[in-house]
Structure 1
Amino acid sequence: MSTSKFEAYLSKVISKVKSKQAHSMIKKELSNHLEELSHAFQNRGLAIKDADKKAMQEMGDPSTVGNNMNQLHKPRMDWLLIALFILLAGIGFLPLMSDVVSPNSFFIKKQIVWLALAILALIGFLFFDYRKLKNLWMYFYSAALILFFISFFVGTRLIGGGIWLSFGGIMINGPAISLYLFLIAWAGIFTKITDFKGWKKLVGLLILFWLPVIFYIMLSQFVFSIIYFLCVLVMYIFYYRHNRFAIKVALGNLLVGVIFISTMILKFSSSYLSDNLISVKAILSQAGWFGKGLHNNLALPEAHTDFVFPFLVYSLGWVFGISLCLILLVFILRISLNAFKTKDLFGRLLTLGGAVLFTVPACWNILMGLGIVPMMVVPLPFISYGGSMLLVYAALLGLILNVYRRKDIVESTLVN
């Protein structure tokens, strides 16, 4: 076979492709196709030299093929997700423009600073090669555990159960950041799951799974324990979706987790939950379709953070509230659908887990605002006031956009 001729042909094709990261994948793909065509022509009776020449002619002009490949294999940007992020972040300023915080200008300026930092975090996680994180899972897991211990021993516990770290007067939510670190760690673990063979390693893996759940509960971060639990479980189910025994194990862990976390919530409800202090159902019953306006006399604590949803419904009406729910639904569905557009296992796991990290707090915050689930410290993504969670969500979105951006320039690593 005329390898040199194929190499010259492929070099001309590759020269038209701007994305260098896609070069090896395209070269491998076209090389296999050329060899298949050459073998087909040889089977028809052509000599090897003539078969190779015919294969290149069949493939087409290298410049044309290269331009087509450049269009197919180039970085993509999900502008819909970016637009929804901007829209949700903008909605987050509405409570700050009302009478729920004072002085308004201070909170607005502070949130603008946090939003600017969040945008920088999003951009930072958007443009590097996320695949480099795959082999660093142990470092991310260890960093998350370190945040736990620092939070437990030197963190400041606030009313409502939240625990924060203070750095030069800036309050950082360590447990919230640990969620992001655990997401990356477990996505990496599942790509290396074949390394965990033998019952000792499997027991160790089970300990790695349950340890954060226990630590979150020790820090009274019940919702974070639920978010983490479901995030890892979703990644596990996707990885072992064709293994019936593994699915049974997942369902068993889900049952144990639900019982364990529910027991902890009920046990500490007297000291942690505050649903007896606020009648959100009574507040929402007065909202009407178009609300009472941003400047009203509503006495609702944490109306700009944990109870931002009932405040927005009361102020702007159920039309706005339903629209907000639809926007969040489109946002989460878009992320979930994007997960299946990448051929990289690590990227798909990151995106699926990221979808859970958005879904659980969004659903819990809204259901809490409707008076359906227990009241806890859980922000509405991009809308609730606060810097730590805004940075975490922005970094998470940047990573998800990064996976989508590279979906056409990465080789398939999916497990059948």
Structure 2
Amino acid sequence: MSSSKFEEYLSKVISQVKSKEAHSMIKKELSDHMEELSKSFQERGVSIKDADKKAMEEMGDPSTVGKNMNHLHKPRMDWLLIVLFVILAGVSFLPLIGGFSEPSISLMKNQVVWLVLAILALVGFLFFDYRKLKNLWMYFYGGGLILFLTTFLVGMEVNGAKRWISFGGMTIDGPAITLFLFFLAWAGIFAKINEFKGWKKQGMLLFLFWTPVLLYIMVPQFMYSIIYFFCVLAMYVFSYVHKQFAIKVAVGNLLIGIIFISTMILYFPNSFLSDTLIPLKDILSEAGWFGKGLYNDLKLAEAHTDLVFPFLVYSLGWAFGMLLCLLLFVFILRISLNAFKTKDVFGRLLVIGGAALFIIPACWNILMGLGIVPIMVVPLPFISYGGSMLLVYSALLGLILNVYRRKDIVEPTIVN
């Protein structure tokens, strides 16, 4: 193909495309298509020069093509997720208003500060090229281990759990931040999973996988180990791994998992609160469709954190509770669907893992509030009071929006 004419045509097309990140992908896309057109004309007996000319004519006016490409390959924003985030963040103030004998001004001020930091985290993870994180998985994993070590050495113990680190007047839940770091690490690992060949590397993966589980139990924070387990499992299921390798890893993890769960049942049978200690079903049975109002006589421990759902249902009724469940369902469904709109394997893994990090705590918290599953320390995303998990969820949402924003401007790495 006539390189000078072709480059001139491409330059005119690219000049109409505002997103510089999409330029290389568009060039490759158009180049391949024009090569195919030129070859098809040559097969009909047309000379190379005329075939190239006809190929460009077939493509159409470069300015028009460029405008079409600019429309197709431009950053996009999922405004529905942002609106849902704002609504859920607004709901988080309701328990602080009505969950105490009088509105807790200090907690509301703290929540405002954390919410501002959460928005900064969301924006920070939204406007950069997420693909740069892929090769940093060792640093994220190492950072998670260092944070655990720091928590064990200098952390504060509250209610038998040594998981808090205080600095600069702020208290951070160390293990909660490690969830985010390990999530990033495993997304990077699974993006290049087929490079881990040989029994030594496979053994290393098993060690890397189970180490955080044991660390979360040592804190103790068993719920985080469950969230971590299913997050990594979800990313593994949707990673593009060779079948033989997948079977080996699955069998190895299954055997270790059986041993681990059996040990937990034998040695920690009374690790969870029974719902008989907190009569959640009785509380919910009195709620009615429209509740008792925010200012009521309900005395419920952790009404603004782990048991925020039964408090909201009791105060505002089952109608509000079902609406809240619907909002969370739409939020999680939207994230899950967005995962398959990107053709970049690392981006897809980030969204799938992020969806799991929302799904597990949201479902457990609601089922726990209904008295169906054991009561554990697990916040309802964006609604439960607490800064560390709010930061984690906001950073996750920023990454998920980042992947969606770039879904039409990154070069595909998934072959359908």
Q: Indicate whether the TM-score tops 0.5.
A: yes
Q: For residues 75 and 90 of structure 2, what CA distance do their matches in structure 1 show?
A: 27
Give the direction of change, closer, same or farther, for the CA distance of 1:88–1:329 in structure 2 (3 Å limit).
Answer: same
Displacement, 1:110? 1.5
Q: Secondary structure at the match of 2:165?
A: strand
Q: For residues 12 and 315 of structure 1, what CA distance do their matches in structure 2 show?
A: 62
Give the corresponding residue for 1:342.
342
Q: Secondary structure at the match of 1:408?
A: coil
Give the corresponding residue for 1:120.
120
Q: For residues 133 and 193 of structure 2, what CA distance do their matches in structure 1 show?
A: 16
Give the direction of change, closer, same or farther, for the CA distance of 1:375–1:99 in structure 2 (3 Å limit).
Answer: closer
Q: Deviations over 1:223-269 (max 9, x none)?
A: 11011111111111111577377258537635753662475367445
Q: Secondary structure at the match of 1:172?
A: strand
Give the corresponding residue for 1:408.
408
1:37 aligns with 2:37: yes
1:389 aligns with 2:357: no
Please, which moves more after superposition, 369-378 or 8-17?
369-378
Q: Secondary structure at the match of 1:239?
A: coil
Give the direction of change, closer, same or farther, for the CA distance of 1:285–1:85 in structure 2 (3 Å limit).
Answer: same
Q: State the TM-score, normalized to the length of structure 2.
A: 0.95
Q: Secondary structure at the match of 1:200?
A: helix
Give the corresponding residue for 2:109.
109
The amino acid that maps onto 2:357 is: L
1:70 aligns with 2:109: no
The amino acid that maps onto 1:129 is: D
CA RMSD of aligned residues (A): 1.9
Please, which moves more after superposition, 155-164 or 169-178?
155-164
Displacement, 1:192? 2.2
User: Which runs of 5 or more structure 1 residues have no equivalent in the other structure?
Assistant: none
Give the direction of change, closer, same or farther, for the CA distance of 1:57–1:101 in structure 2 (3 Å limit).
Answer: farther
Q: Deviations over 1:107-135 (max 9, x none)?
A: 11221111111111100000010000000
Give the direction of change, closer, same or farther, for the CA distance of 1:406–1:316 in structure 2 (3 Å limit).
Answer: same
Displacement, 1:153? 2.3
User: Which runs of 5 or more structure 2 residues have no equivalent in the other structure?
Assistant: none
Q: For residues 94 and 32 of structure 2, what CA distance do their matches in structure 1 show?
A: 56
Give the corresponding residue for 2:133.
133
Q: For residues 158 and 272 of structure 1, what CA distance do their matches in structure 2 show?
A: 17
Give the direction of change, closer, same or farther, for the CA distance of 1:363–1:271 in structure 2 (3 Å limit).
Answer: closer
Displacement, 1:33? 0.5
> Do the aligned residues in 1 keep the contact of 2:293 with 2:316 (CA within 8 Å)?
yes
The amino acid that maps onto 1:225 is: S
> Do the aligned residues in 2 keep the contact of 1:237 with 1:247 (CA within 8 Å)?
no
Give the corresponding residue for 2:157.
157
Give the corresponding residue for 2:13.
13
Give the direction of change, closer, same or farther, for the CA distance of 1:367–1:247 in structure 2 (3 Å limit).
Answer: farther
Displacement, 1:45? 1.5
Give the corresponding residue for 1:196.
196
Give the corresponding residue for 1:60.
60
Q: Secondary structure at the match of 2:171?
A: strand
Q: Deviations over 1:175-195 (max 9, x none)?
A: 011011111101111122233
1:286 aligns with 2:286: yes
Give the corresponding residue for 1:239.
239
Q: For residues 262 and 280 of structure 1, what CA distance do their matches in structure 2 show?
A: 29
> Do the aligned residues in 1 keep the contact of 2:155 with 2:162 (CA within 8 Å)?
no
Moved over 4 A (4+): none
Q: For residues 41 and 138 of structure 2, what CA distance do their matches in structure 1 show?
A: 51
The amino acid that maps onto 1:84 is: L
Q: For residues 312 and 381 of structure 2, what CA distance do their matches in structure 1 show?
A: 14
Q: For residues 25 and 2 of structure 2, what CA distance do their matches in structure 1 show?
A: 21
Q: State the TM-score, normalized to the length of structure 1.
A: 0.95
Q: Secondary structure at the match of 2:164?
A: strand
Please, which moves more after superposition, 149-158 or 310-319?
149-158
Q: For residues 291 and 247 of structure 2, what CA distance do their matches in structure 1 show?
A: 46
Give the corresponding residue for 1:332.
332
Displacement, 1:303? 0.1
Over the matched positions of the two proteins, sequence identity in percent amounts to 74
Q: For residues 188 and 254 of structure 1, what CA distance do their matches in structure 2 show?
A: 22
